Amino acid sequence: MHEVVAVDIGGTHARFAIASIAADGAITLGEPETLHTADHASFQTAWEAFRERMGGTLPAVVSMAIAGPVGSPGNLNPVIRFTNNPWIIRPPLIPEKLDVERFTIVNDFAAVAHAVARADASQFLHLAGPDEPLGHDGTISVIGPGTGLGVAHLWRSGSAYRVQATEGGHIDFAPLDSIEDAILARLRRRHNRVSVERVVAGPGIVDIYHALAALEQRSVPERDAIEIWTLGTSGEDSLAAAAIDRFCLSLGSVAGDLALAQGGFAGVVIAGGLGYRIRDTLLASGFAERFKAKGRFESLMASIPVKLIVHPQPGLFGAAAAYASEHLPPPGAPA
């Protein structure tokens, strides 16, 4: 049994948990602790606060999932900066500053892909395609609409797998009908280039909402993304609900495009809290039809299982899995 401090660091929160990794590769997370990044001057002081909460001692190994570019396991960036908080992490100083013997650092969405690779089948909700488990051989595409659009993929053969983080959220948005033409036109007035992240990430609901209002020649108040998501999911505002349905359609198209580009024919996984919150809408929407609507490849797309990961802490679970992948022998291998 190996114990690891798993950490998932974003712009607003840093989540910590003690993870136990068994000889058969099974990962168990202790109760997560969430700290606000704004309450701590550095990651080191947040680490010390967590250590104090845990009674003053921690395992001598740490695995961190970080929201930002980190480099690769063999070639980490010498200085890791966050987009939305002032913390700086210098990997060469981690053993000294945190008093650990070994560490792993991965991109936060790479950690989610590690979670997909290791999670039990019960942690997935079926969305589209054949109602069967994700393939154990081949490529699985992982897509996470949140504040941005996270994209990664993993290739696996039996119990062996490799994860690749990408910047797939920044491919060009391709409208498929006149409504999406209107959404694109609205976005082009403010951006030289419109990526899929502008439409199928959480903040994109604002432009979808206002584009639909303009099509109906309706005057609507200025609302932020949280308000529109709330009004739409509750059914209080029919235009907000229509915007969410349109979001689901566009997400289906983008997910299908990414599966084609990555060869994600062993499965596609939607990740992130936003996907979970709108899971019922996704199931009832045209997401599945848009996913497979790829012309000559429609039959291929219809054969791909599409899932939603429902693990409560995929970042922490994935950080522990990334550590196991980097430092521990695969299950069944000689120690």
Q: What is the DSSP track for 146-200?
A: SSSEEEEEEEEETTEEEEEEE-GGGSBP---SHHHHHHHHHHHTT-SS-BTHHHH
Report how far residue 140's alpha carbon sits from residue 156's, in angstroms, rounded to the nearest whole number.
Answer: 8
Return the residue matching tokens 């948990």. Answer: 17
- pLDDT class for 74, splitting at 50, 70, 90? confident
- How far lies 240's CA from each of 16, 159, 244, in Å? 35, 43, 6
Q: Tokens 């299908």, residue?
A: 256
Q: Which helix (H) or strand (E) holds 96?
A: helix 94-98
| Long-range contacts at 271-274 (CB < 8 A, ≥ 24 apart) | 271/109, 271/112, 271/115, 271/116, 271/142, 271/143, 271/144, 271/150, 271/308, 271/309, 271/314, 272/112, 272/144, 272/145, 272/146, 272/150, 273/146, 274/145, 274/146, 274/202
Contacts of 252 (CB under 8 A, 6+ apart): 128, 285, 286, 287, 288, 289, 290, 291
What does the DSSP 8-state code read for residue 10? Answer: -
- Helices and strands (H, E) in the chain, number of each type: 13, 16
Cβ atoms of 63 and 29 closer than 8 Å: no
224 token code pair: 């932020």
CA separation, residue 16 to residues 48, 53, 62, 96 (Å): 12, 11, 10, 19
Place of tokens 């409208």: 175
Do residues 166 and 152 make contact, with C-beta atoms less than 8 angstroms apart?
yes
**Mean pLDDT for the stretch of residues 116-145:** 95
Instruction: Share the mean pLDDT of the chain.
Output: 93
Position 138 scores a pLDDT of: 97
Q: What is the per-residue burial (b if ≥16 Cβ within 10 Å, else e) of 1-38?
A: ebbbbbbbbbeeebbbbbbebeeebebebeeeeebebe
pLDDT at res. 331: 62
State the pLDDT confidence band at 87, using cuts at 50, 70 and 90.
very high
pLDDT at 329 over 80: no
The predicted-structure confidence for 242-272, as pLDDT tens digits, reads as follows 999 999 999 999 999 999 999 999 999 999 8
pLDDT of residue 83: 66
**Distance between CA atoms of residues 205 and 7, nearest Å:** 30
**Distance (Å, rounded) from C-alpha 34 to C-alpha 11?**
13
Assess whether pLDDT exceeds 80 at residue 315.
Answer: yes
Report whether 287 contacts 250 (CB < 8 A). no
Cα–Cα dist 212/178, whole Å: 11
Tokens of 156: 């696996």
**pLDDT at position 133, please?**
95
Residue 334 pLDDT greater than 50, yes or no: no
Confidence of residue 24 (pLDDT cuts 50, 70, 90): confident
More confident residue, 148 or 264: 264
More confident residue, 110 or 68: 110
On the question of pLDDT at 75 being above 90, the answer is no
